[in-house]
A and B are shown apart, each in its own frame.
Chain A
Amino acid sequence: MSYVLTDLVKEEIDHWKTRFPEGRQRSAVLSALHAVQHENHGFVTAEQMNAVAEYLDLPTIQVYEVATFYSMFQTQEVGRNEVAICTNVSCMLRGADDIVEYVENKLGVKLGESTDDGRIFLKKEEECVAACCGAPAMMVNHKYYENLTDEQVDEILDRLD
């Protein structure tokens, strides 16, 4: 089954293409995947990657290899809200492991898994997100939350649709 990029995604890709020299549209692959993944609520399918390749006039492998290299792209179906808890040293020193445990218990899933209702994807052990002075920190749908407490985690996660 082939997939057709939406006009909104095409517009976004076209916008990025203007930033690169003629013939260097491959530079737009990362942004194209961001756009498609955003529209698809958190992950990209093979059909969507093929569509990106076709639109940018690139071999499909050049899109697959990018989608599988970078940690922000998910190539398996995941829950629609992405929760990524930083567990690197600065956050670990300020209790990140307790936050992870709290969230795992609250959601009933382990790191790397999604809730059964597809509401939340708890990303696998997240590396440093550069919010070290506000540790412990997490990203929810790319928005940063810092100096986390269990109460704040409740409030943030309970709000998600």
Chain B
Amino acid sequence: MAHEQNLVCFNTFGSDESWTLATYEKHDGYKAWRRVLAGELSPEQIIDEVKASGLRGRGGAGFPTGLKWSFMPKDADVQKYLVCNSDESEPGTCHDREVLRYNPHALIEGMAIAAYTMGATVAYNYIRGEFLDEPVPRFEAAVKEAYDAGLLGENIQKSGIDFDLYTFVGAGAYICGEETALLESLEGKQGRPRFKPPFPAGFGLYGKPTTINNTQSLASVPAIIRNGAAWFAGLGPEGSGGTALFSVSGHVEKPGNYELPMGIPFKDLLNDICGGVLGGRKLKAVIPGGSSCKVLPAEIIMDCTMDYNSLQQAGSSFGTGAVMVMDETTCMVRVLRRISRFYMAESCGQCTPCREGTGWLYRMLTRIMEGNGEEADLQKLVEVANKIEGHTICALGDAAAWPVQSFLNHYLHEFEYMIRNGGASIVDSATEAAA
């Protein structure tokens, strides 16, 4: 079955200089924003449209975008902010970088529409610091183009609408992808998540009402307004409107960022789009939405469709659409140790269960790999993970726990084998046996 690609966020891809205003306008870019400027669309109409489209936050949590927008206070006399989260750092995820580099105007138009809808006259795009060489200048050049074309600024095209858009550049911290840590960082502080409530819609950037949306979510908005909620919702199955940007990495023949309708069967994504498992080897496991999602063994994921409901029913989640594919040669202990190292390194340190627990997980897994593990460590790993989960201010703690729980759930025998065999991997023994 053929799957149509690049319908929303990547719709300029394939054109020369896909990132320019001229190219974007050839693809109906800024038509939705011009309708707003002409007074054809009220904030209420836009919120209803976005709600009906089924768009859900693509940063990982999947919260309905239109509903999130509706939480902003309606009174006009206080400064409100829109913030875009381009702090893309969930391991496996690299598609927002493509939006910033190759279709930045979709994001700018989406931000303009979102800001107008919520009565925000100022927006920041928080871009991760590592992107400062290429995505940041590319995005900033597009913002300048939009200003020069009279699409942003004060009293835009005499509409009475004001909207200023600024880039902000981070400096390397996964935790800043958590929306309140991002606000702290934007205020020039350490990126430490805030207690909630209050939620950002009440007390956000500089204490003002603020909404934070992910890059892909915002870049999807112009197409929704242009083509209608029904069109967008109809691209995917019930509960998962629109397209998703899949970052497929690991053991596949053609890794890449692919924009596809939600609900594509995993086996089509793997075989038709990505050319199958690398070297024709056998699929072992997939982390379907970035390293914070639970791992799914081949026999489960092969029957899944790539959408919120299907992956949730399978015991994992859609996450960021970052599909990490592992073939039969992959040692699951080694992968989990690397994932645990990540959460240890990225814990901001303010909650004890996360700060201490992530280190425990990593050290225990290291011990097992070095041949010094004990059977009791396996129970302890799960206990520590359970004690982190649900006991921290933000979701990083949960994200550190879920991989441990799911790897041990599905691949316990690999951990046991390593403990009983002085640190040797079951994968290596299989290779030796075959040789």
Contacts and interface: CB of A to CB of B under 8 A. Distances in A.
Interface in B158-174: 166, 168-174
Contacts of A157: none
A67 B168 CA distance: 17
Contacts of A127: 89, 91, 174, 342, 345-346
Interface string A15-37: 00001010010111111011000
B247 A133 contact: yes
Contact of B132 (A29, A34, A94): A34
Contacts of B326: 93
A70 B348 CA distance: 10
A89 interface: yes
Contacts of A34: 129, 132, 169, 171
Interface string B60-100: 00000000000000000001000000001111111011000
Interface string B334-362: 11001101100110100000000000000
Contact of B130 (A65, A66, A73, A142): A142
A130 B93 contact: yes
A73 B342 CA distance: 18
Nearest to A139: B130
A133 to B, nearest CB: 4
A144 B250 CA distance: 18
B133 A132 contact: no
Contacts of A21: 79, 206
A81 interface: no
B255 interface: yes
Contact of B187 (A27, A87, A129): A27
Nearest to A131: B94
B338 A133 contact: no
Contacts of A135: 249-250, 255
Given A24-B206, A34-B132, A127-B91, A133 B342 contact: no
Interface residues of B, number: 58
A132 B341 contact: no
B117 interface: no
A157 B188 CA distance: 34
B338 A92 contact: yes
A27 B188 contact: yes
A87 B91 CA distance: 10
A30 B169 contact: yes
Main secondary structure of the interface of B (DSSP, over half): mixed
Contacts of B250: 89-90, 93-94, 135
Contact of B94 (A72, A94, A132): A132
Contacts of A69: 173, 190-191, 348
B157 interface: no
A152 interface: no
Given A27-B188, A62-B188, A131-B97, A89 B130 contact: no
Interface in A39-96: 62, 65-66, 69-73, 87-90, 92-94
A125 interface: yes
A90 B97 CA distance: 16
A159 interface: no
Contacts of B265: none
Contacts of B185: 30
Nearest to A30: B171
Interface string B246-274: 01111100011100000000000000000
B168 A19 contact: yes
A71 B348 CA distance: 12
A132 B251 CA distance: 11
B330 interface: yes
Contacts of A144: 133-134
A66 B334 CA distance: 32
Nearest to B130: A129
Contacts of A90: 91-92, 249-250, 324
Interface string A116-140: 0000000001011111111100010
Contacts of B26: none
A34 B91 CA distance: 24
Given A72-B172, A131-B94, A26 B255 contact: no
Contact of B190 (A66, A87, A130, A131): A66
19 contacts: A21-B79, A21-B206, A66-B190, A69-B348, A73-B172, A89-B291, A89-B338, A90-B91, A93-B251, A94-B255, A127-B174, A127-B346, A128-B174, A130-B93, A130-B94, A130-B131, A131-B94, A133-B255, A135-B255
Given A73-B171, A130-B128, A132-B255, 9 more contacts: A31-B169, A69-B348, A71-B172, A93-B330, A127-B345, A130-B97, A131-B94, A132-B322, A132-B324
Interface of A: 19, 21, 24, 26-31, 33-34, 62, 65-66, 69-73, 87-90, 92-94, 125, 127-135, 139, 141-144
